Amino acid sequence: MNTTSPNPTPVLSAIYDHTTIRRRKWRMLKDKIAQHSMTIGGISVIIAIVLIFFYLLYVVFPLLLPATMEKMQQFSIPAPTAGKTRYLAAEEQNEVGVRFTDQARVVFFKLTDGTVIAEQVLPLPAEITMTQLAVADSSTGVIALGLSDGRALVVKQIYDISYPNGVKVISPRIKYPLGEEPIVVDKVSGTKSLRHLAVQLGETTNTLAAVTADNRLVLASVVKEISFLDESVTFDRTDSVLSLLLPPSTQVTHLLLDKQQKIVYVADSEGYISRIDISNKKSPHMLERIRVVKANQTITALKFLTGDISLLVGDSSGKITQWFPARDENKNKILRPIREFHSQTAPIIDIAIEERRKGFVTADNQGQVGIYHSTAHRTLIVKSITAGVPLKHIALTPRADRLLAEDEQGQIQLWKIHNEHPEISWSALWSKVWYESYDQPEYIWQSSSASNDFEPKFSLTPLAFGTLKAAFYAMLIATPLAIFGAIYTAYFMAAGMRKIVKPTIEIMAALPTVILGFLAGLWLAPVIEANLLGVFLLFLLIPSGALLFAYGWSYLPRAIRYGIPEGWQSTLLIPVLLLITWIAFELSHSVEKAFFNGDMPNWLTTQLGIAFDQRNAIVVGIAMGLAVIPNIFSIAEDAIFSVPKHLTMGSLALGATPWQTMTRVVILTASPGIFSAVMIGMGRAVGETMIVLMATGNTPIMDFSIFQGLRTLAANIAVEMPESEVNSTHYRILFLAGLILFLFTFFFNTIAEVVRHRLRRQYSSL
């Protein structure tokens, strides 16, 4: 019996349709997964960038906060029977205060409530009283008492800290660094009291300066000598006298001696300050006498700023002026007014100096105090604390976070000061600042020093300048090479050669920048220094040599010219360029011997006054250019190669030459991509760290010379962040530099995107 098999077509069709539908669903699912993954990734990137921005802002924001004062305590003067206060101070732990009285008594008291801890009577000779009190550098705790018989007693505050039973105890005491016997300051008329007194102690040399009733400046230099045999201490003394050339009616009002024991400043009632050199203790001499206040004003307060380089002059109008020696246009070193603070209007009666910063506090006779910072030229606070009652004395604790103020009514106030970052102002960061020991205002970055008296220099201008300088020279080298290379590779080069060249250049982008910086600093920089003229000859010989080769190539027989496949002709330039480089370097030595004494870098310095650093902007430009070229080349080449073929074919069909097609069609159409490539390269150059760190002198200077080094914001962060104290001003400024880089990159990327869209709209119709 014949049986007919069923037709398999419907079954196979059903299986095929089911498989197709399943594959289509799977493909759609993968598309959705990819779409959502890309969306999540993009949003995550945006969130990460926003979080980075807000974290940088969070660290930087405290720099913008104002200083504040908060009253903590008020109490009557401790031990009022001990006499009137001549000097007020406090120790570093903010627990113990001290006042020296006119009865030669020392009263130690608690800062919290004024309770007397200890009271000590200084050992004065019988029938002798205290007439003057002089304070040495505040960090030493040294005080000198001028006595009625022309002698002086030098004492020092000591605060011993112990922990009996685990509880901190501060035990104050008085030490006598030059002995308990008073020192005769004026041997000529030593029985007469001294009008003014100043003192400074060193490791071995100690100096007392005094002004006598007949306007003589008397110096007593005491050198401490310790015997190596029995460790006994002896003092060797040197005396000198200088007659002050002051008008007969003029009286000395203030006397200061710097802690280096080299300069004495004498202020008088006419508003003049005399600067006297006592480097040679046996023969002091007057350097200058200069008026520091207006004719109708007087000097009411005079103190050294920390470091004893600058003078702070408070006058009867309430103005405070900073002065320090600097050279004038004639190269003479004279006292010069640097900056003024005029936020108070009543006469300044006292100035308290911060021990570790260039800040200070002033008090006037109307009960106002002002907190200032000299380098930043900032008035931080001006506040009335006694409701019009005149102040007598003020004192800052060593950490500058507490203020002691005594008024005319015998009350002492304790104020808490929150003033973490007074060094920062717009002028300190971006304007020229006149720093101590400089002859004029300058842009300087110098964040640290071994000395506590150091004046931090936080100008970001040289760092921003160095960043732009490095990016400029890198882009000057990278942009033309990368773009012209991209044009040739995408438009003229043979497909087979393009497959080799493009991946090779893109692989260069993966080179670690630390390797490029290492090679640039240790190999390229010495090579350029030894062949500097040859490097300049390359810029002349390579373009001219390539043009001459091309010109000669056009006159070769057709058989030779057409024997090279179309698009491969550029390979012939490789040996030509190597030969030109060898010739340039060989010629450089002969030309240098003939015209530059065999050493062009030295000739530039000696003959033209152009300083030459081995690691300079040329090295940075070449090294960073090599790092930036792959990014610009890859993006620009893709943009040019992606120009629709029908545009180029249509242009050629209408009779345009390949060059005309490239310049008038291809480049214009690809311009948005080329512009993006340049801006991305610019962003890479601005943010580069390791190359500029290793290939430059890393010096923050403002000089556009190609022979000078530089320091960038990124390199500065890398160098100094490990050394900065967390939450310090230095630390936060480094984060501010990072924030500036962030905003700089964001700004230029935004501008680039706007320009790119405009170019795309303009040339999209081609």
pLDDT digits (tens, 9 = 90+) for 55-86: 999 999 999 999 999 999 999 999 999 999 99
pLDDT of amino acid 229 = 58
Average pLDDT, the chain: 88
The two three-digit tokens of residue 703, written as one number: 């000089």
Annotate 210-276 with DSSP letters as a single string. EE-TTSEEEEEEEEEEE-TTT--EEEEEEEEEEE----TT--EEEEEE-TTS-EEEEEETTSEEEEE
pLDDT of amino acid 751 = 81
**710 SS3 class:** coil
- With contact defined as beta carbons under 8 Å apart, do 305 and 311 qualify? yes
The two three-digit tokens of residue 383, written as one number: 């506040």
Classify 203 in phi/psi space as left (phi over 0), alpha (psi -120 to 50) or beta: alpha
**Rounded Cα–Cα distance for residues 631 and 509 (Å):** 7
Q: What is the mean pLDDT of residues 730-759?
A: 86
**Rounded Cα–Cα distance for residues 285 and 241 (Å):** 10
State percent of the chain over pLDDT 70. Answer: 95
- With contact defined as beta carbons under 8 Å apart, do 380 and 360 qualify? no
Q: At what angle do helices 667-687 and 461-487 cross, to 10 degrees?
A: 150
The two three-digit tokens of residue 670, written as one number: 């690809």
pLDDT tens track for 220-241: 888 877 665 555 555 667 777 7
* pLDDT of 19 higher than 80: no
Which residue from 452, 484, 419 is spatially nearest to 663, judged by alpha carbons?
484
pLDDT tens track for 136-158: 988 889 999 998 888 899 999 99
pLDDT tens track for 543-573: 898 889 888 888 888 888 788 887 787 888 8
What's the pTM?
Answer: 0.86
Annotate 442-506 with DSSP letters as a single string. B--EE---SSTT---EE--HHHHHHHHHHHHHHHHHHHHHHHHHHHIIIIIS-HHHHHHHHHHHH
Residues comprising the chain, all counted: 766
C-alpha Rg value of the chain to the nearest Å: 38
DSSP annotation of 705? -
pLDDT of amino acid 599 = 85
pLDDT tens track for 276-334: 999 888 888 899 999 999 988 999 999 999 999 999 999 999 999 999 999 988 888 99
* pLDDT of 267 higher than 90: yes
* pLDDT of 191 higher than 70: no
Domains of the chain, start order: 122-291 (no CATH), 461-525+611-763 (1.10.3720.10)
- With contact defined as beta carbons under 8 Å apart, do 97 and 108 qualify? yes
* pLDDT of 118 higher than 50: yes
> CB 707: neighbour CB atoms within 10 A?
17
pLDDT of amino acid 13 = 65
pLDDT of amino acid 341 = 95
* pLDDT of 1 higher than 50: no
pLDDT band at 436 (very low <50, low <70, confident <90, very high): very high
Ranking 92-96, 396-400, 549-553 by mean pLDDT, the lowest is 549-553
Ranking 1-5, 7-11, 459-463, 626-630 by mean pLDDT, the lowest is 1-5
Angle CA 669–484–582, to nearest 5: 175
Annotate 116-134 with DSSP letters as a single string. EEEEEE--PPTT--EEEEE
pLDDT of amino acid 14 = 64
> How far does CA 561 lie from the centroid of its chain?
61
- With contact defined as beta carbons under 8 Å apart, do 739 and 57 qualify? yes
pLDDT of amino acid 231 = 53
- With contact defined as beta carbons under 8 Å apart, do 673 and 763 qualify? no
The two three-digit tokens of residue 322, written as one number: 């900073």
The two three-digit tokens of residue 62, written as one number: 């405290």
**Rounded Cα–Cα distance for residues 636 and 735 (Å):** 34
**Residue 24 host element (H or E):** helix 9-60
* pLDDT of 5 higher than 70: no
If one compares 330 and 10, the residue with the highest pLDDT of the two is 330
Ramachandran angles phi, psi of 434, nearest 5° = -90, 100
- Do the strands 348-353 and 333-341 form a parallel or antiparallel pair, or are they unpaired? unpaired
* pLDDT of 28 higher than 60: yes
pLDDT of amino acid 107 = 96
pLDDT of amino acid 144 = 94
Ranking 241-245, 584-588, 659-663 by mean pLDDT, the lowest is 241-245
